[in-house]
């Protein structure tokens, strides 16, 4: 149904998103002026002009829009004059309101500078344009969040800098570094100093900042009391921030910290926030590695901070069962220092000195070379046998073609030769690979015996965790005791570690250190460490790989690992 446009009563609706001040195509004044010119040009009846500075990405957030809808539903207006249809809605809920009012005729026309929308029009057109507007706002939101997250990962605080700092106006948009506010930085630092002295409350510090220092926020107003509390508990000031907020993901900022982490902890304790002085951005060393030996739940950790009367701050890290499987699990907690001591004790039992490592690896390489030479002969013989079989098959085929043998004789003989070929091909052919794997794994375990204790003693969390994973499997905490199933080859090192230390103790002079030749001779003559051969040989390759080891422990290493 065509409607005379002069009988339609229009509402001019101009909207801009307050979140998009820098992106808006036209301001509210500009939109209103353009729309009034269209109304004058086309002699439209305008009953009201509405302006709103609100985002339309979420429904029921625009009071002026809601007022316009009520005006239309009551019949006081039946047309809308707007800059673009996306000014009306960018979400499916309010889009549905507009489309329903249009389809039922309560809205006779939506007029924009580009086109008109009427009840008899194809509904698909309006749906597509509303859908594009909705998708735009969704894409915009996702892109903004992604950009802010990437900014946070680079250590740049992604939102407005707190008091005492500024978002550098000289940096390009999206990469504005956080810099010190020359006017306020030292004053905010003085607030922290007042609290750290222990003689001032936050309210007293706030009064001093307002009255004596005339501290203002960037908009020029004197600093408020709530601002003081926020800055005293804001981790940003010691160089760390959480983003997204509430996600538990912490980032180290590139800005210059105003206070130290220790000062922040002390302030939190002074403010009465004991037990949780500072959000942590680091990973506790042993979490994720162990389980409770009683209920099987994961082991977690927490840090406790205690403030002594003399002002010193002490930190303690405790590991305990999460109790997620059994809330009544009786397992207690263990301090990290005690846990480290127990793990270090286990590592000391598999520890071997550098000179034994060098001696063992030298003899291992010697035997590997011998085994490799033997294996090479085995491989050559195998290749000769296969070549001979190929010649026999070819000769057999020639006899068949010449008519010397029948088809049945050919098939029977070919089957016999093929079986022999298959048998030889199935013989172990990867002797060199097995030797290489033996060398690599033996070296890995000997390296661990030499280096584990020193690596675990370092402060590098990654090194400590690697040492534990290499030590064994199924690490547990039970009765405040660390337990782990040590790898079988490492049990061999544990069994010989005492012998090695006894030899070193007998031969090590008080002043001059160890005589290298003498100690190597002692290693070679020791009945536990001396050369040993396997008395139950198998295939030639297996004999040389499993039995051709220079000393007993290496034979165990090979059998325990390579055969698995």
> CB–CB of 183/214 below 8 Å?
no
CA 251 to CA 233: how far, in whole Å?
A: 17
Average pLDDT over residues 264-283: 65
pLDDT in tens, 476-508: 999 999 999 988 777 777 777 777 777 766 665
Same topology, domains 5-146 and 165-270? Answer is: no
Average pLDDT over residues 435-454: 78
**String of DSSP letters for 460-484:** -HHHHHHHHHHHEEEEEEETTEEEE
Cis-peptide, bond into residue 336, ω within 30° of zero: no
Rg (CA), the chain: 40
Q: Is 350's pLDDT higher than 90?
A: no
Question: Given CA atoms 183, 188, 189, 191 in this order, what sign does their dihedral have?
Answer: positive
Nearest to 14 by CA among 68, 102, 87: 87
3-state helix vs strand vs coil in the chain, percent to 5: 50, 15, 35
pLDDT in tens, 52-81: 988 888 888 899 999 999 999 999 999 999
- pLDDT score, position 433: 57
In the chain, domain spans: 5-146, 165-270, 291-345, 354-559
CA 86 to CA 137: how far, in whole Å?
A: 10
Q: Is 376's pLDDT higher than 90?
A: no
Beta bridge partners, 250, equal 242
More confident site: 248 or 507: 248
CA distances to 277, 327, 476, 478 from 331, rounded to whole Å, are 26, 11, 12, 7
Supply the pTM of this predicted model.
0.41
Task: Name which of 17-26, 204-213, 318-327 the model is least confident about.
Answer: 17-26
Kind and range of the H or E run holding 379: helix 354-402
More confident site: 147 or 368: 147
Beta bridge partners, 476, equal 291, 483
- Cβ contacts of 23 within 8 Å, gap of 6 or more: none
- 54 C-beta neighbours (distance < 10 Å), count: 16
Indicate the Cα dihedral angle 470, 473, 476, 481, nearest 10°: -60
CATH architecture of 165-270: Alpha-Beta Complex (3.90)
CA distances to 37, 50, 195 from 42, rounded to whole Å, are 9, 20, 68
Nearest to 80 by CA among 133, 28, 14: 14
Is residue 369 classed exposed, middle or buried when 0-12, 13-18 and 19+ CB atoms within 10 A define those classes?
Answer: exposed
CA 390 to CA 397: how far, in whole Å?
A: 11
For the chain, give the mean pLDDT.
78
CA 61 to CA 89: how far, in whole Å?
A: 11
Average pLDDT over residues 420-437: 62
- pLDDT score, position 275: 44
Measured at the CA of 171, the angle between CA 167 and CA 176, to 5 degrees, comes to 40
Long-range contacts of residues 541-547, Cβ cutoff 8 Å, at least 24 apart: 541/375, 541/378, 541/428, 541/431, 541/434, 542/428, 544/370, 544/371, 544/374, 544/375, 544/431, 544/435, 545/371, 545/431, 545/434, 545/435, 545/438
Give the residue ranges of DSSP H helices in 114-234: 123-153, 185-197, 202-211, 225-232
Q: Read off the DSSP letter of residue 546.
A: I
> CB–CB of 300/320 below 8 Å?
yes
Kind and range of the H or E run holding 360: helix 354-402
**Among the CATH numbers 3.40.50.1390, 3.90.1310.10, 3.30.9.10, 1.10.10.10, which is that of 5-146?**
3.40.50.1390
- Strands 165-167 vs 116-117: parallel, antiparallel or unpaired: unpaired
Task: Name which of 98-112, 180-194, 346-360, 420-434 the model is least confident about.
Answer: 420-434
Task: Name which of 123-132, 237-246, 327-336, 413-422 the model is least confident about.
Answer: 123-132
Burial code of 95-119, b = ≥16 C-beta within 10 A, e = fewer? Answer: bebbbebbeeebbbbbbbeeeebbb
CA 478 to CA 329: how far, in whole Å?
A: 11
- 327 C-beta neighbours (distance < 10 Å), count: 9
pLDDT in tens, 119-172: 887 665 666 666 665 565 565 566 667 778 888 888 888 888 999 999 988 877
CA 506 to CA 512: how far, in whole Å?
A: 14
- What φ, ψ does residue 36 adopt, rounded to 5°? -70, -35
pLDDT in tens, 285-338: 888 889 999 999 999 888 887 766 666 777 788 999 999 899 999 999 999 999
The strands making up 481-486's β-sheet, listed across from edge to edge, are: 291-292, 472-478, 481-486
Average pLDDT over residues 40-49: 91
- What φ, ψ does residue 317 adopt, rounded to 5°? -110, 130
Beta bridge partners, 299, equal 321
């Amino acid at each position: 149904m065509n409607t005379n446009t002069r009988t339609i009563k229009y509402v001019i609706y101009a909207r801009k998103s307050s979140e998009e001040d820098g992106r808006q195509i036209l301001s509210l004044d500009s939109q209103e002026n353009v729309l009034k010119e269209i109304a004058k040009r086309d002699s439209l009846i305008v009953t009201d002009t509405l302006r709103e500075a609100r985002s339309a990405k979420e429904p029921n957030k625009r009071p002026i829009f809601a007022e316009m809808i009520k005006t239309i539903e009551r019949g006081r207006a039946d047309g809308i004059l707007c800059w673009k249809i996306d000014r009306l809605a960018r979400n499916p809920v309010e889009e549905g309101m507009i489309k329903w009012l249009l389809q039922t005729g309560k809205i006779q026309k939506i007029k924009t500078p580009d086109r008109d929308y009427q009840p008899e029009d194809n509904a698909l057109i309006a749906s597509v344009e509303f859908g594009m507007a909705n998708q735009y706002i969704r894409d915009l939101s996702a892109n903004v969040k992604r950009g802010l997250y990437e900014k946070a990962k680079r250590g740049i605080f992604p939102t407005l800098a707190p008091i005492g700092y500024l978002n550098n106006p000289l940096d390009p948009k999206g990469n504005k570094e956080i810099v010190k506010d020359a006017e306020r930085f030292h004053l905010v630092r003085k607030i922290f100093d007042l609290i750290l002295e222990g003689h001032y409350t936050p309210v007293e510090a706030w009064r001093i900042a307002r009255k004596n220092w005339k501290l203002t926020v960037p908009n020029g107003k004197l600093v408020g009391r709530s601002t003081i509390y926020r800055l005293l508990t804001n981790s940003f000031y010691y160089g760390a921030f959480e983003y997204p907020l509430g996600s538990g993901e912490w980032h180290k900022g590139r800005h210059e910290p105003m206070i130290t982490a220790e000062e922040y902890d002390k302030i939190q304790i002074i403010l009465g926030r004991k037990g949780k002085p500072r959000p942590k951005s680091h990973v506790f060393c042993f979490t994720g590695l162990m389980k409770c030996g009683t209920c099987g739940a994961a082991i977690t950790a927490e840090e406790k901070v205690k403030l002594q009367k003399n002002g010193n701050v002490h930190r303690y890290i405790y590991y305990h069962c999460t109790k997620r499987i059994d809330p009544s699990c009786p397992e207690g907690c263990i301090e990290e220092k005690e846990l480290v001591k127990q793990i270090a004790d286990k590592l000391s039992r598999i520890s071997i000195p550098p000179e034994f490592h060098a001696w063992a690896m030298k003899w291992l390489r010697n035997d590997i070379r011998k085994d490799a030479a033997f294996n090479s002969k085995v491989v050559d013989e195998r290749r000769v046998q296969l070549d001979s079989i190929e010649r026999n098959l070819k000769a057999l085929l020639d006899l068949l073609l010449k008519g010397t043998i029948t088809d049945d004789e050919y098939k029977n003989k070919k089957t016999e030769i093929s079986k022999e070929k298959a048998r030889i091909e199935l013989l172990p052919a990867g002797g060199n690979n097995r030797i290489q794997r033996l060398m690599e794994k033996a070296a890995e375990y000997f390296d661990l015996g030499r280096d584990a204790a020193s690596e675990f003693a370092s402060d590098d969390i990654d090194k400590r965790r690697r040492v534990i994973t290499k030590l064994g499997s199924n690490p547990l905490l039970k009765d405040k005791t660390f337990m782990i199933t040590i790898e079988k080859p490492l049990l061999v090192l544990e069994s010989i570690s005492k012998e090695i230390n006894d030899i070193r103790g007998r031969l090590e002079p008080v002043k001059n250190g160890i005589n290298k030749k003498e100690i190597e001779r002692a290693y070679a003559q020791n009945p536990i460490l001396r050369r040993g051969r396997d008395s139950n040989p198998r295939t030639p390759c297996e004999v040389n790989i499993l039995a051709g080891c220079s000393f007993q422990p290496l034979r165990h290493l090979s059998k325990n690992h390579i055969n698995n």
